Amino acid sequence: MTTTQAATGEPQTPTLTLTAAFEGIEGSYSHAVLEEYAARRGVKFVPVGCASYRAVAHAVLSGKADLGLLPIDNAIAGTIREGYDVLAEYELDLLAEITWRMEHKLLGVPGATLEGLREIDSHPVVLMECGRFLGTLPDVRRVPVPDTGIAARDVAEARDPARGAIASAAAAERYGLIELAHTIADHPDNFTRFILFRAPNAQGLAADFEPAENFAVRKTSLVFSVADSPGALGRCLSIIGEHGLNVSKLDSKTRLGASGQSSFYADVDGDVRDERFADALRALRSVTVALNVLGTYDASSAPPRVRRAPAVVVDVAPPIPPAPSAKTAFPKATRQDADARSRVMVGDIAVGDGHFVVVGGPCSVESREQILATAESVAASGAVMLRGGAFKPRTSPYAFQGMGWEGVALLAEAGRATGLPIVSEVMSVEQVERMAASVDVLQIGARNMQNFDLLKAVGKTERPILLKRGMAASIDDLLSAAEYILAEGNPNVILCERGIRTFETATRNTLDLSAVPVLRERTHLPVMVDPSHGVGVRRWIGPLCRAAKAVGAHGLLIEVHPNPIEARCDADQALTFADFARIMDELARIPSI
């Protein structure tokens, strides 16, 4: 520990300088966390890189470092057991929780390309956080290494364009790497929680360092064990609850070396020095076989999470007509009994059966800026999924055919950046497998509704399917097409009315809203409506959205573009961001049935 002076000899406000241990080398996330935290607190940390979590604790306890930092959990990968276990094993004075958004980049040496990669190195937890993105690169080996700084450094030193590293933008800069892909974590709420600590009887400046930014927000971490018996965990939680304390994290594992016992990692809001908390711990001791209080720390710096519109759940069930009788050509699609309604889950979003969802996005993915801006805007307005075509079925072979796989990758990036599941059209049997690896919902377009080979192929996947009604297809034809998918074993079919061809020329198609109540009566499958293709004219989309919701659609598919007149596909029907936001507000006033 030292105090620094400006090199000019000018007297300056002394800056507290402390040594801080972390796992890894400079350029790792832990290092970035320490730097940012020090800057925020107006102190300076001299980094002490360590080879393991345990070595971080040793560095602090032996006086080699004033402070230590360890990660304890990640929003995607879950509890980082080793972090908790080291904090539990050694007596340490926990100071603060630091929550850090992990903005992972795929890095390579200059000249490397995504297509050319054969190996990707990173910390094992980070590899897990990017599971969906890595799933789209089946030929690339994933290599776990001790930390992301090491991954970046080793790739830079190897100068091999076939090797990539997942690390931060700061690591890219430090080791001279280029970014091959951004926003590659599965979800934007990708926070890792780190704990800053010191030795229990720290002396000198380490003892004086005051980490709390706000004493009002404190958290306490515990590890407790109970015998595997009915009600044992319930008793512990009741005690905590009865003392007015909130459990903000709970995770379990088998207690090693003690048969028939389980251990629980718990974070409880509050400070052990509070009387209420102390009482709760006393009571907890009498019902646990082991209780280890890791410590109380400042928890005031948790960042906000990504905004997500709440799902609309309807609690008034409409009167249900009698189920159709006996024989049918579509036994799996037919609603067999009065209250059978399927709910298709897209991630944690339910479609159908009382839930009303809106999917927004451009007709086609045109650029990174376009799809990211649209994704952010529709998410902020309350859309729960993002649409965008990468393979476009165009009437003319000379029209823009879509960005293809590059478009799929950009759409996937926009989905990860906003946390919105993505919907995109698959046009051929050959595309199905690769598409299913990247997108959350496979769309079958109107022109392909009776491409039976394609229906069978998507029926063999586990992805939800958005099946659009063909423009010259009857309701029976649509149900038969759905039956093809269901018959292959994929139960996750969402139907979509998108307008049919009639003699009317005032609108692009004729949006057959009467299909909604008919389908709700005849099938248990969710029914969505696409007013964009149905009417084809921007200013009439709002009224049809409201009508579709009022008539019982389970959701809407709406085209939105940052600059509609410039859209490369379906420009006349694309909504501006402002139009979309207004329509979402209007929809909120209409009850769904």
Binding site for ligand PEP (CB under 6 A): 363, 389, 393, 445-447, 468, 498, 533
Q: Is the distance from CB of 195 to CB of 83 less than 8 angstroms?
A: yes
Which of 255/469 has CB closer to ligand PEP? 469
Q: Which two tokens stand for residue 511?
A: 């949006």
Provide, rounded to whole angstroms, the least separation between the CB of residue 410 and ligand PEP.
16
Which of 93/570 has CB closer to ligand PEP? 570
Provide, rounded to whole angstroms, the least separation between the CB of residue 493 and Mn ion.
21
115 secondary structure, DSSP code: T
Which of 33/475 has CB closer to ligand PEP? 475
Which of 168/509 has CB closer to Mn ion? 509
DSSP bridge pairs for 559: 361
Q: Which two tokens stand for residue 61?
A: 């306890």
Stretch that binds Mn ion, among 132-140, 165-173, 421-429, 568-576 (CB under 5 A): 568-576
Residue 23 burial (CB count, 10 A): 27
Q: Which two tokens stand for residue 369?
A: 């800026």
Provide, rounded to whole angstroms, the least separation between the CB of residue 65 and ligand PEP.
57
Assess whether 99 carries a catalytic annotation.
no
Which of 155/548 has CB closer to ligand PEP? 548
Residues that bind Mn ion (rule: CB under 5 A) add up to a total of 2
List alpha helices for 159-251, DSSP H.
Answer: 169-175, 204-208, 232-242
Q: Which two tokens stand for residue 470?
A: 């063909």
196: Cβ–Cβ under 8 A, 6 or more apart, which residues? 37, 67, 68, 69, 94, 95, 96, 97, 98, 211, 297
Which of 43/446 has CB closer to ligand PEP? 446
Question: b/e map of 434-464 (b: 16 or more CB within 10 Å)?
Answer: ebbbbbbbbbbbbebbbbeebbbbbbebebb
Provide, rounded to whole angstroms, the least separation between the CB of residue 148 and ligand PEP.
39
CA distance 525 to 334: 8
Q: Which is catalytic among the residues 22, 45, 133, 194? A: 194
Which of 121/570 has CB closer to Mn ion? 570
Q: Which is catalytic among the residues 192, 220, 288, 418? A: 192
274: Cβ–Cβ under 8 A, 6 or more apart, which residues? none
468 binds, among Mn ion, ligand PEP, none (CB under 5 to 8 A by kind): ligand PEP
Provide, rounded to whole angstroms, the least separation between the CB of residue 447 and ligand PEP.
6
Query: Degrees (nearest 5) of the Cα angle 95, 91, 69?
Result: 45
Q: Is the distance from CB of 289 to CB of 223 less than 8 angstroms?
A: no
Assess whether 192 carries a catalytic annotation.
yes
CA distance 434 to 577: 31
Provide, rounded to whole angstroms, the least separation between the CB of residue 394 and ligand PEP.
9
Question: Residues, the chain, total?
Answer: 593
* Beta strands 44-50 and 15-23, pairing class: parallel
Provide, rounded to whole angstroms, the least separation between the CB of residue 401 and ligand PEP.
12
In 3D space, the residue among 133, 24, 107, 18 whose CA is nearest the CA of residue 71 turns out to be: 24
Nearest residue to ligand PEP, by Cβ distance, number only: 445
CA distance 67 to 18: 7
445 binds, among Mn ion, ligand PEP, none (CB under 5 to 8 A by kind): ligand PEP
CA distance 530 to 524: 19
498 binds, among ligand PEP, Mn ion, none (CB under 5 to 8 A by kind): ligand PEP
For Mn ion, which residue of 534, 570, 577, 583 counts as binding (CB under 5 A)? 570
97 binds, among Mn ion, ligand PEP, none (CB under 5 to 8 A by kind): none
Which of 363/560 has CB closer to Mn ion? 363
Residue 390, interface with Mn ion (CB under 5 A)?
Answer: no
132 binds, among Mn ion, ligand PEP, none (CB under 5 to 8 A by kind): none
* Window 342-381: contact mask with Mn ion (x via CB under 5 A): ---------------------x------------------
Nearest residue to Mn ion, by Cβ distance, number only: 363
CA distance 347 to 420: 9
Residue 530, interface with Mn ion (CB under 5 A)?
Answer: no
- Going from the C-alpha of 393 to that of each of 390, 427, 466, 532, the distances in angstroms are 10, 7, 16, 16
Provide, rounded to whole angstroms, the least separation between the CB of residue 533 and ligand PEP.
4
Catalytic residue positions, numbered = 192, 194
Residues near Mn ion (CB under 5 A): 363, 570
